[in-house]
């Protein structure tokens, strides 16, 4: 018999579709996600993944880029034609170009293999939370992380209780990162959204402004806690410290 409380939990447990051809990796991800109360569906090929993405309509897709039948980038593009389901890419370290391609094709984030403990769950949580953060952004609420608080309606930023003045571009940069909180944003995406499409090939601006933003928000800009650089890829705003 299932208790009432358990039934309610079952109804809200997020569904995750795992598309991965390696059975050992499927096995441990299944054990881990089941233990963390997610419901898991598995697909072994890209075709199967696309089919299940449409039939099961999961809350999130975990997609291995090296599938036997189809290029992972193609799978992302195809799913993106009809769905905004968050897609989290599993990829080997050192394949930065593949990760950028996946992100530009519409993936939400990536996790490098081998995964650090807690990394997969932290990324899943960040991607699932996306909707909630978006709502807050639109409602103009206050987002708080560490000793920093950002009031989105008043465009006010407080660090340790005292107001910090951000230039319009610095604020816009922070806003875009907040919009994608916890998830990586490629350089290209940031340049496009903050400076406009004509500036996507001028990453120096981005780096200068990111440095300024760090100096205003971080206690030690050379050892940041929130505004994280992913070399070769882009930036990530961390609201919660990852479980390690």
Shortest Å, Cβ 240 to other proteins: 14
3 state DSSP class of 68 = coil
Cβ–Cβ < 8 Å for 190, 213: no
When asked if residue 10 is in the footprint of other proteins (CB under 8 A), the reply is no
When asked if residue 27 is in the footprint of other proteins (CB under 8 A), the reply is no
Give me 13's structure tokens. 């447990």
When asked if residue 176 is in the footprint of other proteins (CB under 8 A), the reply is no
Phi, psi for residue 224 in degrees, rounded to 5: -70, 150
Shortest Å, Cβ 94 to other proteins: 7
Nearer of residues 94 and 160 to other proteins, judged by Cβ: 94
Nearer of residues 66 and 221 to other proteins, judged by Cβ: 221
Shortest Å, Cβ 109 to other proteins: 16
Pairing type for strands 156-159 and 184-186 reads: unpaired
Distance CA 146, CA 83 (A): 34
Phi, psi for residue 181 in degrees, rounded to 5: -45, 130
What element of type H or E holds 18? strand 15-19
CA distances from 155 to 71, 168, 181 (A): 42, 10, 17
Q: Which stretch binds other proteins (CB under 8 A): 34-42, 74-82, 135-143, 197-205?
A: 197-205
Q: Which residues inside 101-160 make contact with other proteins, applying CB under 8 A?
A: 114, 116-117
Omega before 164 within 30 of 0, i.e. cis = no
**Which one among 210, 213, 217, 237 touches other proteins, defined by CB under 8 A?**
210
Nearer of residues 32 and 152 to other proteins, judged by Cβ: 32
Cα angle 149, 211, 200 (rounded to 5 degrees) comes to 105
Shortest Å, Cβ 210 to other proteins: 7
Contact residues for other proteins (CB under 8 A)?
93-94, 96, 114, 116-117, 167, 169, 195, 199, 201-205, 207-208, 210-212, 214-215, 220-224, 228-232, 244
């Amino acid at each position: 018999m299932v208790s009432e409380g358990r039934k309610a939990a079952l109804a809200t447990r997020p569904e995750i579709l795992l598309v991965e051809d390696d059975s050992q990796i499927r096995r441990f991800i299944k054990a881990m996600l089941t233990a963390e109360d997610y419901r898991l569906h598995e697909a072994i090929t890209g075709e199967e993944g696309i089919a299940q993405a449409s039939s099961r309509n999961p809350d999130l897709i975990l997609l291995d880029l090296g599938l036997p039948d189809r290029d992972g980038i193609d799978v992302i593009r195809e799913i993106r034609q009809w769905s905004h389901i968050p897609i989290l890419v599993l990829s080997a370290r050192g394949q930065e170009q593949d990760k950028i391609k996946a992100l530009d094709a519409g993936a939400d984030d990536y996790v490098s293999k081998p995964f650090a403990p807690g990394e997969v769950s932290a990324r899943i949580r960040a991607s699932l939370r996306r909707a909630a953060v978006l709502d807050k952004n639109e409602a103009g609420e206050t987002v708080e992380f560490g000793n920093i608080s950002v009031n989105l309606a008043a465009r006010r930023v407080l660090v340790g209780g005292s107001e910090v003045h951000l230039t319009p571009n610095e604020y816009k940069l922070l806003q875009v990162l907040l919009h994608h909180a916890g998830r990586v944003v490629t350089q290209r995406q940031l340049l496009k959204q903050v400076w406009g499409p004509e500036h996507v090939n001028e990453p120096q601006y981005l780096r200068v402004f990111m440095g300024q933003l760090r100096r205003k928000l971080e206690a030690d800009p050379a050892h940041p806690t929130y505004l994280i650089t992913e070399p070769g890829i882009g930036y990530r705003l961390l609201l919660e410290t990852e479980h390690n």
